[in-house]
Amino acid sequence: MNMQMVDVVGQYAKIKTEVDEAIHRVLASGQFIMGKDVADLEQEIAAYLGVKHAVACASGTDALQIAMMAMNIGPGDEVITSPFTFVATAETIGILGARPVYVDIDPRTYNIDPAKIEAAITPKTKAIIPVHLYGQPAEMDAIMAIARARGLKVIEDAAQGLGASYRGTKVCAIGDCGCISFFPSKNLGAFGDGGMIVTSDPALADRLRMIAAHGSRVRYYHEVLGVNSRLDTIQAAILRVKAKHLDAWNAERRRAAARYTALLAGTPVVTPFIAPEGEHIFHQYTIRVPERDGLDQRLKEKGIPHAIYYPVPLHLQKAFAMSGYREGDFPVTEQATREVLSLPMHTELTEEQQQFVCTTIREFYAGR
C-alpha cells in the first residue's frame, strides 16, 4: 500500500489551480522579496489568531531567535523550556549565549509541566518557552500565572500548533509573542521554509520587524544588530491560499486521530491524551508503545511510514553538553523518548490506510 507520512503532493493536487495562480501572480509582479502578499499574509494571520501584529520571517527557527533578540536575551541569561522538543527551541537560546534550563514534561501531554517550573527559576531567568508539542496546547493559564508573578516573558513555540486553541483562545495569542513555522510538513506549510512572529504589543512588534530587517527601520540606517530573515513573496502567496483551508484541514486531522484511537482500542498502545481545556490539531498522532524497536521493525517490513519524535532528549544531546545535565535528570522525558512513535497523519489519509496501519499494530502485539 502506497502511504506517506505527510502527503504534501496529494494536498497540493486538491488546490493546484489556486496555488498556481498565486505563484504566477507573484512571478508577473516581479516583487519576489517583501511583496504585497507578505503584508497581506501578516494581516490575515494576525486576524485569524486574534492578535494585533504579525511579522513574517524566514523560518520558525528564526522566529524564536528574533523573538529572544527583541527581548534582549543574551549571555548570562537563562530561558526555561522543555527538553522534549525539536532542537531549534533550545538551539536558538544557546546561539544567543543564553542557557537553556529544562523542566520535565507532563507524561500525558508531552508538554512542559507547569508544576515543575517554579523550582527552575533563578535570578538569571528571563523567559519561558512553552512548546505546543504535536499540536497539543501547553497549560498556558498556569504558565502565564507563574511568568506574570515572576516578571518573566513568555514566548510560545507554536511551530507544531498553528490553529490549536486553549480555553477558546488560539495559541500564539496568549504569551508575549508566538512563533510559527511554515515548514512544508506543518499543518499550514509553505513550499519551502518560512516563519512568523505574532504579538499584540506594538513596541515589541516594531522591534521584531526591525531586527528581522538587519536592525533597520529605514533602509541603510541600522539602529541595532539584526539579521536577514524574510519570507519570500511566493511563499506568502502560497500560504494565503492554504490558510483558507487550515481549520477544515485541522478538523480532518482530528477525525483521522479519532479513527486511529478507535481502531487501536484494546491494544497495549497508549493513544494520545487530549487535554479538555485545549483543542488539539494533531500535527502528529503520537502513541506510546511497549517493545517499540520490534514494532518499528514490523512497520518497516510492511512499508508503513512512521517516525520517532524525538529519540534523544535535548539535555542529552552532544551539542548541549556544556549545560551540565545528565541522564536521569528528567525521567519523564527520558521514558517518553524510549516509547513514543508517530503514525502517518495528514489531510489525505484514508480510512483504508488507517485500517492497514492499525491491523499491523494489532497483529504485532497479538503475536507477543
Band of the pLDDT at 1, cuts 50, 70, 90?
confident
Task: Report whether 114 contacts 143 (CB < 8 A).
Answer: yes
Q: Stretch 261-283: mean pLDDT, rounded?
A: 97
Residue 329 falls within a domain, yes or no? yes
How does pLDDT run across 150-182, given as a tens digit for each residue?
999 999 999 999 999 999 999 999 999 999 999
User: Sorting pLDDT into bands at 50, 70 and 90, what band is 10?
Assistant: very high
Q: Would residue 1 count as lying in a domain?
A: no
Q: Does 219 share its domain with 277?
A: no
Q: Examine the domain organization and report whether 196 and 271 are in the same domain.
A: no
For residues 8 and 5, give the distance between their C-alpha atoms in angstroms, rounded to a whole number.
Answer: 9
In a domain, 58, yes or no: yes
Residues 26-51: what's their mean pLDDT?
A: 97
Regarding whether 296 and 158 lie in a shared domain, the answer is: no
Indicate if 201 and 288 belong to the same structural domain: no
User: Is 67 a domain residue?
Assistant: yes
Among residues 222, 243, 264, the one where a domain terminates is 243
368 pLDDT more than 80: no
pLDDT greater than 80 at residue 367 = no
Split into its structural domains, the chain has a count of: 2
pLDDT at residue 224, rounded to an integer = 95
**Would residue 223 be called left, alpha or beta, if left means φ above 0 and alpha means ψ between -120 and 50 degrees?**
alpha
Domain that holds residue 13: 8-103+111-243
Tens digits of residue pLDDT in 212-244:
999 999 999 999 999 999 999 999 999 999 999
Q: Is the pLDDT of residue 304 over 90?
A: yes
What average pLDDT does range 320-340 have in this prediction? 96
Assign residue 338 the CATH number of its domain.
3.90.1150.10
| Alpha carbon separation from 17 to 22, 238, 289, 324 (Å, rounded) | 9, 11, 42, 53
Q: Does 273 score more than 80 pLDDT?
A: yes
pLDDT value of position 323:
86
In this structure, is residue 3 part of a structural domain? no
Whole-number Å distance between alpha carbons of 285 and 273: 10
Percent of the chain with pLDDT over 70: 100
pLDDT at residue 2 in the model: 86
Average pLDDT over residues 111-117: 98
Per the domain annotation, does 140 fall within a domain?
yes
Q: Are residues 39 and 178 in the same domain?
A: yes
Does 131 map to a domain? yes
Query: Is residue 95 domain-shared with residue 156, that is, in the same domain?
Result: yes
Q: Per the domain annotation, does 233 fall within a domain?
A: yes
C-alpha 192/C-alpha 45 separation (Å) is 18
Confidence of residue 322 (pLDDT cuts 50, 70, 90): confident
Could you tell me if 165 and 131 lie in one domain?
A: yes
Same-domain status, 323 and 212 = no
**189 and 146 belong to one structural domain:** yes
Residue 65, pLDDT score: 98
Indicate the residue among 211, 243, 275 that finishes a domain. Answer: 243
195, 219, 243 - which closes a domain: 243
